[in-house]
Amino acid sequence: QGGNNAGHTVVVDGKEYDFHLFPSGIINPKAISFIGKTISELTKSNNITWWVAATIFCRLKDWEKRLIISDRAHIVFDFHQAVDGLQEVQRQAQEGKNIGTTKKGIGPTYSSKAARTGLRICDLLSDFDEFSSRFKNLAQQYKSMFPTLEVDIEGQLKKLKGYAEKIRPMVRDGVYFMYEALHGSPKKILVEGANAALLDIDFGTYPFVTSSNCTVGGVCTGLGVPPQHVGDVYGVVKAYTTRVGIGAFPTEQINEIGDLLQSRGHEWGVTTGRKRRCGWLDLVILKYAHMINGFTALALTKLDILDVLDEIKIGVAYKLGGKRIPYFP
């Protein structure tokens, strides 16, 4: 999923669950849930203590027996989250606008990953002295970049050592796990993505995007699944368009229509609690998402939200320089 910056609200048997890092399949006692080569948030109480969150809020039984975490998953630390907030303040001061991140530390963690200074679950579970040394170096790097940043290094390491032992039984070699799942006894494998196609780091409305690949390519890069194993690709799209945070939104309705869609659709960001911006369905971005992902089917949701409207509008084309264009610019 790329981290706990996105959320899914799932209702099963009348019970509502808000998921951020857990795969939604954790509700199903017959399913094995796997967190792959994405970002594991280990130290903040909002998603871990997983043990507390899963047991108390979800009232799930034996969930830890059906959750597997890849040893290659990168770890988001407290200072990554703090830096995420500091960077937003910096952008606002320097450019007069920010990106509108969820401040969950995902961007800085991917930066550490790309700089080859990131730390993974396998590092946490092997030589803790080596892990501690690299953790201190990474923290110092960020402290030198952001002088106001405060990091309780010893306190964090103590917490992380405790977490390491709790998650150790859940951790597997993720690539081998997926290989066995694909080539062993026949299984139904569902890969769940968070964030929309237009928030993809490469193909989204850059720079107002997330830091991961949330298009179908993320199945391969996130789990180590070869492309030939990707079968059906389901695009999930609302009957209208929404967006949380800043970025281009040609069909946005900043009026009573937008307010109606927002209120009837209960359009609040699951992670941030921010109101979602709402507007008419934009077929241009839907076609663009299809170009990249090659949907074999579309799941159209929230059609009933439009029931009270006498007239429904749909965005069908873009103009650039006064001329109609056949692509997403």
Answer yes or no: is pLDDT of 45 > 50.
no
Give per-residue pLDDT as tens, 102-118.
777 888 988 999 999 99
**What pLDDT is recorded for position 54?**
45
CATH of 1-192, one of 1.10.300.10, 1.10.287.70, 3.20.20.210, 1.10.569.10: 1.10.300.10
Length reported for the chain: 329
**What pLDDT is recorded for position 192?**
85
Model confidence at 46, in pLDDT bands (50, 70, 90)?
very low
Model confidence at 322, in pLDDT bands (50, 70, 90)?
very high
**What pLDDT is recorded for position 104?**
77
How much of the chain, in percent, has pLDDT values that exceed 70?
Answer: 89
**What pLDDT is recorded for position 43?**
44
Task: Give the C-alpha separation, 129 to 134, whole Å.
Answer: 9
Give per-residue pLDDT as tens, 199-221.
999 999 998 888 888 899 989 98
Domain range 232-325, CATH class: alpha beta
* Residues with catalytic roles: 113
Give per-residue pLDDT as tens, 274-299.
789 999 999 999 999 999 999 999 99
N- to C-terminal Cα separation, the chain: 26
Q: Determine the residue type at 24.
A: S
Task: Give the C-alpha separation, 74 to 122, whole Å.
Answer: 9
DSSP 212-233: S--STHHHHHHH---GGG----
For residues 71-79, give the mean pLDDT. 90
Contact partners, residue 273, CB within 8 Å, separation at least 6: none
Answer yes or no: is pLDDT of 129 > 80.
yes
213-223 residues labelled b (16+ CB within 10 A) or e (exposed): bbbbbbbeebb
Instruction: Indicate the range of 12-16, 149-153, 257-261 predicted with least confidence.
Output: 12-16
Residues paired with residue 297 on neighbouring β-strands, in sequence order: 234
**What pLDDT is recorded for position 58?**
52
Q: How many CA atoms lie within 13 Å of 142's alpha carbon, on the beta-carbon side?
A: 29
Tokens, residue 309: 């409207």
Domain residue extents for the chain? 1-192, 232-325
For residues 77-101, give the mean pLDDT. 80
DSSP 116-161: T---BHHHHHS-HHHHHHHHHHHHHHHHHH-TT----HHHHHHHHH
CA angle 17, 19, 25 (to 5 degrees): 85
**What pLDDT is recorded for position 38?**
57
Instruction: Indicate the range of 95-104, 212-221, 261-270 predicted with least confidence.
Output: 95-104
Q: If 0-12 CB within 10 Å is exposed, 13-18 middle and 19+ buried, where does residue 203 land?
A: buried
**Average pLDDT value over all residues in the chain:** 87
pTM of the model as a whole: 0.84
**What pLDDT is recorded for position 2?**
59
Identify whether the C-beta of residue 293 lies closer than 8 Å to the C-beta of residue 235. yes
Model confidence at 239, in pLDDT bands (50, 70, 90)?
very high
